[in-house]
A and B are shown apart, each in its own frame.
Chain A
Amino acid sequence: MDSAELVTPASAPRSVSRQLSEEPDEGTRKLRALVVEDEPADVERALRALRAAGLGAVCDVAQTAEEFTRLVRQNAYDVILADYKVPNWYGMETVEILRREGLDVPVIMVSGALGELTAVECIKQGAADYVPKHHLARLPESVRRAMREKKLRNDHRQSLKELARSNRDLEQFAYVASHDLQEPLRMVATYTQLLAERYQGKLDADADKYIHYAVDGALRMQKLVQDLLAFSRVGRQGLTLENADINVVLDRALKNLEAAIQGSGAVVDHAQLPLVIADGSLLVQVFQNLIGNALKFRGSEPPLIRVNADLKGKEWVFSVADNGIGIAAEHAESVFAIFRRLHTRAEYPGNGIGLSICKKIIEQHGGRIWVESELGHGSIFQFTLPIKPTPKQ
């Protein structure tokens, strides 16, 4: 006998017991349980305890790992009631099997006295609760609580899934919108410029001013749309992981910044940098943005920029330190948000896209990025790269 319907009326509809993600409506449907137990009388006693508390239950019985695995694959159960030890098997192994099968069904150990240490160990390994056989009156509440917790876990998982989906939609939207906006914007920009060129000084002073505003707005919007497109393009193709020599990566970033470095009289020095498994061309962007910022937000002294790398545990920690104007503590997080700027365009040009691209690239590598700074006392941007990257999509 591998399956026994011990208390089910013959008419109990099977399909009803499949709606298992929610706490059963006690009036209309029975709880579906899988019992790991070799003693029919004990199964009957457990079911009676549940029934007495208004939890009518249908149950299957499993006595071996094979039976158990087959049944959980076939049926969706609300709860597993497992004896600690059946003749050829341990009830605790159900937790491991469920995990392997990717199933979230609460396991309640219903057993003779286990002793405190064993009971605690069961719960540590993932059992929802332990109810001694001589305290079966506690079983209904234990089952109810386990199911409430499961519902919470489900809701949480569902929310995370929806959040991930809405993030993906949003990125797709940003990409499509910024891509398709470029063409009409090009029309607005070039033709307002043509208007300005042809009619400058031929209308009146107001007209000249209005046209100037229109041109300026169109060009700025064009830059924003290009930046948004650049942001949403990061990682759309996934990462191309390779053995990236960060010395080479940094050299390429510095080469791209050559004019700005010479213009500001900056000194950039770096320690011997490691080889990491990463997308090298994306990391060039990261270093270029960070060092570019250090050059842009310089203090009164010529910029001094130092790039470093430290191995800490399972990750590399890179740092780009400067002697620039620094960032007030309350902005330390928000500087990484897209289009976030702390200064007017007249003070410092730019759209506030660079750090958000850095953050996206680093997070795609499974790393973190942050800044330590004090207003007027330079900044240290730091980011981590795991030694063994598990890229996020």
Chain B
Amino acid sequence: MKTTPEILMVDDNPADIDLTSEVLAQSEQHFHVNAVNDGAEAISFLRHQGKYTHAPVPDLVVLDLNLPRKDGCEVLQHIKADRALAKVPVVIFTTSQASSDIARSYRLGANCYLRKPGNLPEFVAAVQSMAEFWLGYASLPQKERR
């Protein structure tokens, strides 16, 4: 039996987490969205530290750039420097359109850079196609056993 894909969404804006979860809940495939609000929490989650001892290993990380405590690039750097975590695809999902942010994200090993669209139809389309591609069409590496 296929297991439900685990998504880790790192975003300090609860409205974006809600909207993304809503969109994913509407899709045919089932996803489990785990949300954390800052970079430090994200790292604890990924390392199964503190209250995240029993957290799942995500199949996909959806990462905002502008985050409190540790920003998105630091989280990205951390993920890509960790042998076990490095193979988890990371989608940067942010409002920034700055070419410097885009270049830096890819340089640090981001697997995709997606801009948060400003209106609902486009937002829905972006989130749906992201989930469809990364958790549907793309072949992902086998997860480490915990």
A-side residues, CB < 8 A to B, are 182-183, 185-187, 189-191, 193-194, 197, 219, 222
In the complex, the answer to whether B95 meets A183 with C-beta atoms within 8 Å is: yes
> Which B residues touch A186, using CB under 8 A?
95, 116, 118
In the complex, B120 has a CB within 8 A of chain A: yes
Give, as a whole number of angstroms, the nearest-CB distance from B89 to chain A: 25
> Which A residues touch B13, using CB under 8 A?
187
For window 42-90 of B, CB contacts with A under 8 Å fall at none
In the complex, the answer to whether A182 meets B95 with C-beta atoms within 8 Å is: yes
In the complex, B100 has a CB within 8 A of chain A: no
Residue of A nearest to B66 (CB): A183
> Which A residues touch B19, using CB under 8 A?
190-191, 194
Q: Interface size on B (CB < 8 Å)?
A: 11
In the complex, the answer to whether B118 meets A193 with C-beta atoms within 8 Å is: no
Give, as a whole number of angstroms, the nearest-CB distance from A224 to chain B: 12
In the complex, the answer to whether B121 meets A191 with C-beta atoms within 8 Å is: no
Residue of A nearest to B95 (CB): A183
**Nearest 10 pairs between A and B by C-beta?**
A193-B120, A190-B120, A186-B118, A187-B15, A189-B119, A222-B118, A190-B123, A194-B120, A183-B95, A189-B118
Q: What is the interface of chain A mostly: helix, strand, loop, or mixed?
A: helix
Q: A182-B95, A187-B15, A191-B15 are in contact. Are A197 and B118 (CB under 8 A)?
A: no
In the complex, the answer to whether B118 meets A182 with C-beta atoms within 8 Å is: yes
B-side residues, CB < 8 A to A, are 13, 15, 19, 22, 95, 116, 118-121, 123
Q: A186-B116, A187-B15 are in contact. Are A193 and B121 (CB under 8 A)?
A: yes
Residue of A nearest to B15 (CB): A187
The contact sample of 14 A-B pairs, CB cut-off 8 A, is A182-B118, A183-B95, A185-B118, A186-B118, A190-B19, A190-B119, A191-B19, A193-B119, A193-B120, A193-B121, A194-B19, A194-B22, A194-B120, A197-B120
Give, as a whole number of angstroms, the nearest-CB distance from B117 to chain A: 8
> Which B residues touch A191, using CB under 8 A?
15, 19
Residue of A nearest to B16 (CB): A187
Residue of A nearest to B118 (CB): A186
Q: What 9 additional pairs, Cβ within 8 angstroms, besides A187-B13, A187-B15, A197-B120?
A: A189-B120, A190-B19, A190-B119, A190-B120, A191-B15, A193-B120, A194-B19, A194-B120, A219-B119
Q: How far is the CA of A186 from the CA of B95 in the complex (A)?
A: 9
Q: How far is the CA of A187 from the CA of B123 in the complex (A)?
A: 11
> Which B residues touch A194, using CB under 8 A?
19, 22, 120
Give, as a whole number of angstroms, the nearest-CB distance from B95 to chain A: 6
> Which A residues touch B15, using CB under 8 A?
187, 190-191
Give, as a whole number of angstroms, the nearest-CB distance from A276 to chain B: 27
Give, as a whole number of angstroms, the nearest-CB distance from A204 to chain B: 22
Q: How far is the CA of A61 from the CA of B13 in the complex (A)?
A: 73
> Which B residues touch A219, using CB under 8 A?
119
